[in-house]
Chains A and B, each alone.
Chain A
Amino acid sequence: MRIFKSRAVRAVTAALAVGMIATGCASERGKDDAKGGDKDTFVFAGAGDPGSLDPALASDGETFRVTRQAFEALLEHEAGGSKLVGGLAESWTGNPAGTVWTFNLRKGVKFHDGEAFNAAAVCANYDHWFNWKGTYQSSAVSYYWQKIMGGFAKNEDKEAPKANYKSCTAKDENTAVIEVHEPSANLPGGFSLQALAIHSPKAIKEYAKQAASGKGEAITYPKYSQEAGTVAGTGPYKIVKWNKGNKEITLERFDDYWGDKAKVKNLVFRTIATEEGRRQALQAGDIDGYDLVSPADVKTLEQAGFNVPTRDVFNLFYVGMTQEKNPALKKPEVRQAIAHAIDRENIVKTQLPEGGKVATQFMPDTVAGWSDKVKTYPHDTNKAKQLLAAAGEPKLKVEFCYPTEVTRPYMPAPQDMFELMKSDLEKAGITVTPKPMKWAPDYLDATEAGACALHMLGWTGDFNDGYNFIGTWFAKYDKQWGFKEQKVFDAVNAGSKIGDPAQRVDAYKKANEAIMEYLPGLPISSSPPAIAFGKNVNPPKVSPLTQENFAEVSFK
């Protein structure tokens, strides 16, 4: 056993040293290649791993960011905006009742596996989703299908929503007709969702062979959704590899794409969980762009010469008030006092990136249905004090829950935002008891159950329809708000049953006015989620719905 011979130790040390120097050299060489003029790989970092390569099984932005480059839906939003335009359908019409949707499809479109795109392919997709069974019917898997189209051909769960999807018919090669039972506020917007993007019918046949989970007690995603090779869409990129160990998904330009071909040959999405990690990777030149930039970093990055384009706002941050079990909050004057006490301008100025706005109602001004006639509650501490006195609550005490260790696009720094609101409320004589909680599941469970007097949350829109915002909170009694004001519920639901878009928007405006008159909570702000790109990158048009098309990206 002469393993500790000093000569051996010396040899190993020398080997290690040589190794370090060699790897240093090797990687310097690699970096030179990467920084060369004809770069053919664009690397973008997200905050979390995608869940599936089939967007129909997902409900999270990290998955959609990747799949959106490879899959297209019937409709989409105009580049950089929130207006619905044709996607795989060049044009579309709805009947006055809003129950029959006719799509004139784009011609000459090919799927990544060589199949032709036509009306039969569209119907193959919709029928495939409608006939999902077993675990696919869990809302953890088919969240968006259920949200837009209700349940399935055969609902296996009593609690599942009633099916609103009726049929899909291929009228001819390039005309698909989709029918639903009832008019819905989610249409036509829903036709633009990644979760309802169109796959190759050949791939769909493969999907159908693979059931999700046979065990029934855990959701096992089917194999096809976890490795590249089976999934096939029509997008400008095709997915070629998912290396889970290295947390990266590689896409390659699809040369038969029907529209403008992708400018960069390879597109790679990587996962770096922390904001700071993503920023450092960009500064170090290891990646070419990243999303969910901390507002605090925007200026630093811009000054260093990075591209940090501003998206338009499409989200809403609010303070919720739970009336049940909190008698004081049942009094309108108390809710108004809280609204007047909070200095929303200051929150926007100090906590949000450039382009953040104070919210006057429960939707951003980019959404159809936003009204300029709502009742407003400007910051006024004295008025707040008077209202509290009038309500007989001059020494009001409230619990205020807020989440820790989380950033959301509408809520970049929850703790700092909470501190500002707490000090505003205290200036008006309100005693605030802070209740910090872990985001998931503690905080989300508590807010859902109405366990917090005051809490803060928000929402990012899926598509441009007012119901997607106000319908989420105020369509019916909800423990989170704990009030039963039929007038508000009726006003909100009025719009959702109207087929005609112009009339629907008017109904939403009235709903917003009714909500702000009643004041169930306080809308605080809308925030433009920042996205950053390297100095040598020509960024894509940024989208308020965070639907960037990376085929537009090129290197300078």
Chain B
Amino acid sequence: MLRLVVRRLLQLIPTLLGLSVLLFLWLNRLPGGPASAILGERATPTEVARINRALGLDQPVWVQYGRFLKRIFQLDLGTSTKTGQPVWDEFALRFPATVELSVLAMLIAVVVGIPLGYLAAKRRGGWLDVASVSGSLVGICVPVFFLALILKGVFAVNLGLFPSYGRLTTGLNATDVTGFAVLDGILTGEFDATLDALHHLALPAITLASIPLAVIVRMTRASVLEVLGEDYVRTAESKGLEKNTVRVRHVLRNALLPVVTAIGLLTGSLLSGAVLTESVFAFGGIGSFIKDAIDARDYPVLVGFIMFIAMVYVVINLLVDLAYSLIDPRVRVN
């Protein structure tokens, strides 16, 4: 187990190096830099040149890359050109919001998706099956930002059931301990703040859950259907085992293997959905920060973020493998 973890972490190094080279080549191809984003219509060629010089953007690309690598080895992602603060600080500040949003979205997707997929498979052809299959098709096809706008328009603006933007109600003055608004409320006993944070999270989380939910429903359904036809399930049933035992120990445990893999990969892809969702709900997480960074040509933030995503993917893959070995003993033996 330990060897697996260490090997995976070592694999990170060449992956990130290769990625950083590609990133630098790509950013170097883009026209313009942050200077005109900073100055807007007030930018003059002289000013732009001065700022680029101050930011070291007039240096050849390999010099910039060398500097970047040197910083990476010092675990320094540099400074955001837009906000003028260290990229790590900016991420640390906004990361909790995105984690809360992603965890809640994934929770919704798993808790709703797996039982729904299982039931759809068990009652194949029934109304629930038809509804969940066609519903999941809609979930996959409707663009995230469109769903976000619809949910916001209906439930926040017209019905007023949910807040239309932000993480917490203004003037709530919740104490900030960890940066995780939901958790902070529990830790400090300010349950109002926790409820308020959840209330703000509801619509964006449902939006973000739509795609993983659809995928999980379809995969669980297909996988359960396959397992139900297996001999060992029939054997277990004919042995007169309890229905629940058969469902959980034989059917679900085997059917969930591919679903667990999918959940891992979907978690990684949540970040791209978060960019759109957070922008629509003005939710101060990493997603809306990245959108601002793209608009402002904030290179250090973009490079740092993509490197970070790569790390997240590797770690998630590792967790998926570990989860596999818990569910499927054969993996452990190998």
- Interface residues in B142-169 (C-beta closer than 8 Å to A): 152-153, 156-157, 160-169
Chain A residue at minimal CB-CB distance from B108: A16
Interface residue? A502 (CB, 8 A): no
> A219 CA to B37 CA in the complex, in Å?
14
Contact in complex: A245, B94 (CB < 8 Å):
yes
Residue in contact with B253 in the complex, picked from A1, A218, A286, CB distance below 8 Å: A1
Contact in complex: B114, A4 (CB < 8 Å):
yes
> A197 CA to B315 CA in the complex, in Å?
50
> A445 CA to B49 CA in the complex, in Å?
11
Kindly supply a per-residue 1/0 record for chain B positions 32-44, scoring 1 wherever the CB is within 8 Å of any chain A CB and 0 otherwise: 1111111111111
Contact in complex: B43, A448 (CB < 8 Å):
yes
> A6 CA to B111 CA in the complex, in Å?
11
Residues of chain A within 8 A of B295, CB atoms compared: 440
> A226 CA to B110 CA in the complex, in Å?
40
Interface residue? B248 (CB, 8 A): yes
Residue in contact with A445 in the complex, picked from B31, B96, B280, B284, CB distance below 8 Å: B31
Contact in complex: B44, A448 (CB < 8 Å):
yes
Residue in contact with A9 in the complex, picked from B31, B115, B172, CB distance below 8 Å: B115
A23-31, A292-300, A528-536: which one contacts chain B? A23-31
Contact in complex: B85, A280 (CB < 8 Å):
no
B57 to chain A, nearest CB (A): 9
B277 to chain A, nearest CB (A): 12
Chain B residue at minimal CB-CB distance from A459: B41
Interface residue? B84 (CB, 8 A): yes
- Interface residues in B192-237 (C-beta closer than 8 Å to A): 192, 195-196, 198-199, 202
Contact in complex: B41, A441 (CB < 8 Å):
no
> A13 CA to B112 CA in the complex, in Å?
8
> A96 CA to B253 CA in the complex, in Å?
90
Residues of chain B within 8 A of A34, CB atoms compared: 169, 171
Interface residue? B288 (CB, 8 A): yes
Contact A213-B79, Cβ < 8 Å, known A140-B54, A277-B280: yes
Residue in contact with A272 in the complex, picked from B56, B81, B112, B282, CB distance below 8 Å: B282
A6 to chain B, nearest CB (A): 7
Contact A135-B54, Cβ < 8 Å, known A27-B163, A247-B166, A444-B40: yes
Contact in complex: B79, A138 (CB < 8 Å):
no
Chain A residue at minimal CB-CB distance from B281: A277
Interface residue? B121 (CB, 8 A): no
Contact in complex: A140, B165 (CB < 8 Å):
no
Contact in complex: B169, A30 (CB < 8 Å):
yes
Task: Among B36, B111, B161, B279, find the residue whose CB has the most chain A CB atoms closer than 10 A.
Answer: B36
Contact in complex: B172, A30 (CB < 8 Å):
yes
Residues of chain A within 8 A of B272, CB atoms compared: none
Residues of chain A within 8 A of B161, CB atoms compared: 24
> A140 CA to B108 CA in the complex, in Å?
45
Contact in complex: B84, A286 (CB < 8 Å):
no
Interface residue? A59 (CB, 8 A): yes
Contact in complex: B160, A284 (CB < 8 Å):
yes
Residues of chain B within 8 A of A27, CB atoms compared: 162-163, 169, 195-196, 199
Task: Among A2, A4, A217, A245, find the residue whose CB has the most chain B CB atoms closer than 10 A.
Answer: A245
Contact A284-B164, Cβ < 8 Å, known A138-B51, A442-B31: yes
Contact in complex: A248, B170 (CB < 8 Å):
yes
Interface residues on A, range: 35 or more
Contact A441-B83, Cβ < 8 Å, known A43-B170, A245-B94: no
A1 to chain B, nearest CB (A): 7
Residues of chain A within 8 A of B152, CB atoms compared: 280
Residues of chain B within 8 A of A253, CB atoms compared: none
Contact in complex: B54, A219 (CB < 8 Å):
yes
Interface residue? A391 (CB, 8 A): no
Residues of chain B within 8 A of A390, CB atoms compared: none
Kindly supply a per-residue 1/0 record for chain B positions 95-106, scoring 1 wherever the CB is within 8 Å of any chain A CB and 0 otherwise: 011000000000
Contact in complex: B199, A23 (CB < 8 Å):
yes
Residues of chain B within 8 A of A459, CB atoms compared: 41
- Interface residues in A432-456 (C-beta closer than 8 Å to B): 440-442, 444-445, 448-449
Contact in complex: A217, B56 (CB < 8 Å):
yes
Contact A246-B51, Cβ < 8 Å, known A59-B42, A280-B156, A440-B295: no
A376 to chain B, nearest CB (A): 26
Residue in contact with A2 in the complex, picked from B153, B248, B285, CB distance below 8 Å: B248
Interface residue? A186 (CB, 8 A): no
Contact A283-B39, Cβ < 8 Å, known A219-B81, A440-B297: no
A215 to chain B, nearest CB (A): 7
> A139 CA to B44 CA in the complex, in Å?
11
Interface residue? B246 (CB, 8 A): no
Contact A220-B84, Cβ < 8 Å, known A213-B79, A273-B279, A442-B31: yes
Contact in complex: A51, B93 (CB < 8 Å):
no
B133 to chain A, nearest CB (A): 20
Interface residue? B326 (CB, 8 A): yes
Interface residue? B78 (CB, 8 A): yes
Residue in contact with A440 in the complex, picked from B32, B97, B172, CB distance below 8 Å: B32
B163 to chain A, nearest CB (A): 6
Contact in complex: B163, A270 (CB < 8 Å):
no
Contact A41-B171, Cβ < 8 Å, known A22-B195, A49-B83, A139-B39: yes
> A95 CA to B44 CA in the complex, in Å?
32
Interface residue? B332 (CB, 8 A): no
Kindly supply a per-residue 1/0 record for chain B positions 175-199, scoring 1 wherever the CB is within 8 Å of any chain A CB and 0 otherwise: 0100100000000000010011011
A147 to chain B, nearest CB (A): 9
Residue in contact with A218 in the complex, picked from B44, B78, B153, B296, CB distance below 8 Å: B78
Residue in contact with A26 in the complex, picked from B41, B67, B199, B291, CB distance below 8 Å: B199
Contact in complex: A440, B37 (CB < 8 Å):
yes
Interface residue? A408 (CB, 8 A): yes
Residues of chain B within 8 A of A208, CB atoms compared: none
Can you list 19 contacts pairing A with B, beta carbon distance less than 8 Å? A27-B163, A30-B169, A140-B54, A157-B50, A218-B55, A218-B300, A221-B84, A221-B85, A244-B284, A245-B94, A245-B97, A270-B282, A272-B282, A273-B288, A274-B280, A284-B163, A442-B31, A444-B43, A448-B36
Q: Return the 9 tightest CB-CB contacts between A and B, nearest first.
A: A441-B32, A221-B84, A218-B79, A23-B199, A217-B56, A26-B195, A441-B36, A444-B36, A440-B37
